[in-house]
Amino acid sequence: MQFTLVVYGAPHSSEGAATALRFARATLAAGHSIYRVFFYADGVHNGSALAAPPQDEQDLLGQWQSLQQDHALDLTVCIAAAQRRGLLSESEANRLEKPSANLAAGFTLAGLGQLAEAAAVSDRLISFGG
């Protein structure tokens, strides 16, 4: 079975992102595939390279990146939601004449069309709230 996950929750303000990560691991361990993980609304904060959780808290960014590297996951951040929240790739920072970029390695920016396409080709779309 092929899944697409939509994450609406910021990494440390709700359980949505951590739950999505656990679900992704379990899904892959069970032999299923994940077509795309789409980060939307406050969920775009999961892709911030500037996240620095205290040592006694989970490093969700690092865990998403490890999962992405191990399974070649498509970690897609909604470009409009990201720009509203100050999350930019290098090319977007240059285009918008901003001083720096902060999109973490392993994450890409894309529009809602990528979410619609993922929903169309996946067997299940599962969302994790904020």
How does DSSP classify residue 31?
A: T
- Write the pLDDT tens digit of every residue in 48-97: 999 998 988 899 999 999 999 999 999 999 999 999 999 999 999 999 99
Of 35, 41, 58, 33, nearest in space to 7 by CA: 41
Active site residue 2: no
What is the predicted pLDDT for the residue at 12? 85
What is the predicted pLDDT for the residue at 40? 98
Strand 75-78 and strand 107-110: pairing? parallel
Of 42, 40, 36, nearest in space to 24 by CA: 36
Choose the catalytic residue: 5, 78, 87, 103. Answer: 78
pTM of the model: 0.96
Q: Report which residue type is found at 128.
A: F
